Structure 1
Amino acid sequence: MQQESAELIALKVLGWLASDEEIFLVFLGSSGISAGELMARAGEIEILTAVLDFVAMDDTWVNACAAATGLDPHDPMRARQALPGGAEIHWT
């Protein structure tokens, strides 16, 4: 996956996240970022990777996001792997 495609997927995930008030508030609380700062920095790689990492913590969130956005449930992790710092870890 190209980085540009990964960024577009991450923006879709961010849009879904922002539309779910309960989960969005959990994200804001756990990340320490304000809603205003998040919106101002939404296109930055650091923000996009944080969003993908956060949503990927819960399979229920991943599936809900995929259903709402039309993404494949694997797309958020594929996107995360395509962004800086997201390469798969090989333990061997």
Structure 2
Amino acid sequence: MRPLTENGNAEEAETLALRALGWVLCDDRRAQRLLALTGLEAEDLRRHAGEAATLRAVIGFLRAHEPDLVACARELDVAPERLANLGRELKA
């Protein structure tokens, strides 16, 4: 069983982070920026997409550019603050 987090459980946090990753990858320019800024290679991203460290990198990427954070949160129907704090909920 996964540990509970302050806003739900780890599985919910992972699901939301994966949805955020999907949102990022839907736009080629944004996806390329993610790879450039995180140092991830496309193959590594495919291989490790569900891992906490990769998902934390995605959330960090969104936090670093508020317009993307807000747009992603709007698309996923969550508060931007919820998305911004998600990295703390992702357990290794």
* TM-score, normalised via structure 2 length: 0.80
1:83 maps to a residue whose letter is L
Deviations 1:28-48 (A, max 9, x none): 012221222201111111100
* Structure 1 residue 56 displacement after superposition: 0.8
Deviations 1:1-33 (A, max 9, x none): 222111111101100010121111111012221
**More relative contact order, 1 or 2 (CA 8 Å, 6+ apart):** 1
Q: CA RMSD in A?
A: 1.7
1:42 pairs with one of 31, 40, 49: 49
Partner of 1:11: 18
Partner of 1:74: 81
Partner of 1:52: 59
1:65 matches 2:72 = yes
* Structure 1 residue 69 displacement after superposition: 2.1
1:9–1:75 Cα contact (<8 Å) kept: no
1:3–1:82 Cα contact (<8 Å) kept: yes
2:50 maps to a residue whose letter is G
Runs of 4 or more off by more than 6 Å in structure 1? none
Give the fraction of aligned pairs with identical amino acids, expressed as a percent.
29
- 5+ residue gaps, structure 2: 1-6
Tell which deviates more after alignment, 11-20 or 59-68: 59-68
* Structure 1 residue 82 displacement after superposition: 1.3
Aligned residue-pair number:
85
